[in-house]
Amino acid sequence: MNSELRELYQSVILDHNKQPRNFREPECSNCSAAGVNPLCGDKVTVYLELKDEVIADVGFQGSGCAISTASASLMTEAIKGLPIEAAERLFDGFHAMVTSDPREEAATSELGKLSVFSGVREFPMRVKCATLAWHAMREAMHQSGETVSTE
């Protein structure tokens, strides 16, 4: 990744960390799940308002590092209004991108703004930070009632 692109990605992550979007519990949320990263101390709860298998509204609350907070913020923007199946596919694509071999080109074309996290795969300890909210979102959609942990 060239330095200009890396700088742009860093500025997007810093912006979403300082001013997280959808940092709230939506008034009509009907599903939620908590997640924790014990190694880093990140904690997040993702709230969904599901209507007819569509994510009508989404929000999150919690505390964590810049990558964790920015990932949750960008995730909420990306999944709002999506059918559950599309959110699942987005989860799969995001997870594949951040866990792929850093020596291989990451598939980012379908991820839009979420591609700012492609560099995380070079830092395995940070992958858990980037994926925590995503795992909580998936848990909220399936409502098995368990807290998501990165360990």
Name the packing angle between helices 84-99 and 124-142 (round to 10°).
Answer: 170
CA pair distance 78, 33, nearest whole angstrom: 18
Q: What pTM was computed for the model?
A: 0.92
CA pair distance 50, 102, nearest whole angstrom: 35
Domain boundaries, the chain: 3-149
CA nearest to 83, candidates 141, 14, 131: 141
CATH number belonging to domain 3-149: 3.90.1010.10
pLDDT of 1 strictly over 70: no
Instruction: Render pLDDT for 15-27 as a digit per residue (tens, 0 to 9).
Output: 999 999 999 999 9
Instruction: Render pLDDT for 25-65 as a digit per residue (tens, 0 to 9).
Output: 999 999 999 999 998 899 999 999 999 999 999 999 999 99
CA nearest to 61, candidates 37, 80, 40, 44: 44
